[in-house]
Chain A
Amino acid sequence: MSVLASFRDSSRAAPLLERIRARETGPVALMEFCGGHTVAIFRSGIRSVLPEHIRMLSGPGCPVCVTSNMDLDRAAALAKLPGVILTTYGDMLKVPGSRESLAQVRAQGYPVEIVYSTLDALRLAGQHPDKQIVFFAIGFETTAPAAAAAVLQARARGLKNFSICSVMKLTIPGARALLDMGEVRVQGVIGPGHVSSIIGADAWRFLPDVYRVPVAISGFEPLDILASIDALLAMLEKGNADLANLYSRIVKPGGNTKAWGAVTEVFETCASSWRGFGNIPDSGLALRPQYAEYDAEHRFPIDIPDSVEHPACRCGEVLRGVIEPVDCKVFGTACTPEQPLGPCMVSSEGSCAAYYNFHQSTHTKTRHATEQ
């Protein structure tokens, strides 16, 4: 589809930037709730070309980062059970848990397999009938349909050696929790494009309706993000809090009802523990009792020791948008992508990794801005 290339046409950026600079809003803080946006914003250098009075904040939009140490420890313990092969997405491997990462567990000789898709985990289950394939499922609404589809396929095929350890989370309770805490003032939200493709743009109407915060559902090209910033500023300029869907080439008002239907068939909401937030009611996805045979927690009950956090790691505050990565004392010194102390530095979508990889030249500017 040739039209898609136009979304990468950098000559279209200048008029958008001009519009953004001409908006008369006063100082504003806009937050994105998606790790994909965090990376796109840093990689494209959007922060450095925005006027000084527009601050971009990163919220709890990286599923790897918000996974709690307790849940990481559970995955490590599952991988050590005899006969179990733990499978998970590659992003999880290097995240430090209380005592070790899954990569370190694998280095001790326990089977931890990276999969690109739950389809690969199902294939492994077919190939190894004598092993138990446990899929450690992280992710938000975008990723949940793939986990639900795997359970439905396992049942259809009569697979008895496939189960899921779900630590999947829902973005809307997370966003509400952040706004309800009131620690950061957010005047506009860049809505997560791919989460919204599943749950629908309308799912974010609570932001303007309840919180009076405008939201722009955005795609992931730099132009998409600039247009979303402009739309938010246009609304703020006029005092008009509403929802704008700038990613209508993908996102429908009601989302993908078939995909979400699969999720709600297999999963129910549960309380979930988020790094930096603690327990948030109804923010997680757990297997329904009728799918208990595919629930790793039900099939492999294990005791895990109390989880501990690295004392110097401030990922929790980064995830709440309270501090910027550079405000953390160990950022770029004791904590680097090679030797991460916390998940925000190790995940490809983590704010700290994005700062570290793409934002070195503007550290000074950010420090200056946060000190004011």
Chain B
Amino acid sequence: MCLAVPARICELRPDNMAVVDIQGTQREISLMVLDGEAAVGDYVLIHVGYAIERIDEEEALRTLELFADLSLTDEAFGSASPPLTEDDV
């Protein structure tokens, strides 16, 4: 039910609508609940016809690093002090 899919904005339309590309399929969606200005080329996450969040490429790369490097995980999640914050991950 909470399924959401990544999409690329192809065209902005009136009334906060946009055409997005979802793995080669074009679909009209609403930008009404997306925070901030959207532009053609932005990557967003679509859920039941609405863009709900942007996809952050830098954060994606950082997470991939974490997958590959054990010491990063232990540093971020294994240490008892200082306490973990999201900035660490």
- Give the interface of A toward B (CB within 8 A): 1, 3-4, 6-7, 12, 15-16, 19, 34-36, 62-64, 89, 91, 116-120, 138-140, 142-143, 145-146, 148-149, 152-153, 192-195, 197-198, 201-202, 216, 223-224, 227, 230-231, 234-235, 237-240, 242-253, 256-259, 262, 347, 349
The answer to whether B78 touches A235, judged by C-beta atoms less than 8 angstroms apart, is: yes
Q: Which of chain B's residues 38-60 have a Cβ closer than 8 Å to chain A? A: 43, 45, 47-50, 52-53, 55-57, 59-60
B interface, over-half SS: mixed
Q: How large is the interface on B (under 10, 10 to 19, 20 to 34, 35 or more residues)?
A: 35 or more
Provide the bound-state CA to CA distance between A248 and B61, in Å.
10
Provide the bound-state CA to CA distance between A139 and B49, in Å.
14
Contact of A192 among B2, B66, B73 (CB under 8 A): B2
The answer to whether A146 touches B53, judged by C-beta atoms less than 8 angstroms apart, is: no
B-side contacts of A347, CB under 8 Å: 1
B-side contacts of A216, CB under 8 Å: 77
The answer to whether B35 touches A258, judged by C-beta atoms less than 8 angstroms apart, is: yes
Given contacts A119-B49, A227-B66, contact A149 B33 (CB under 8 A): yes
The answer to whether B50 touches A239, judged by C-beta atoms less than 8 angstroms apart, is: no
The answer to whether A194 touches B2, judged by C-beta atoms less than 8 angstroms apart, is: yes
The answer to whether A142 touches B4, judged by C-beta atoms less than 8 angstroms apart, is: yes
A144 → chain B, closest Cβ, in Å? 10
B14 → chain A, closest Cβ, in Å? 13
The answer to whether B34 touches A227, judged by C-beta atoms less than 8 angstroms apart, is: no
Contact of B86 among A16, A192, A230, A248 (CB under 8 A): A248
Provide the bound-state CA to CA distance between A180 and B63, in Å.
33
Query: Can you sample 13 A-B contacts with CB below 8 Å?
Result: A3-B64, A15-B70, A19-B70, A19-B73, A63-B2, A117-B50, A142-B52, A153-B32, A197-B53, A246-B63, A248-B89, A249-B60, A250-B56
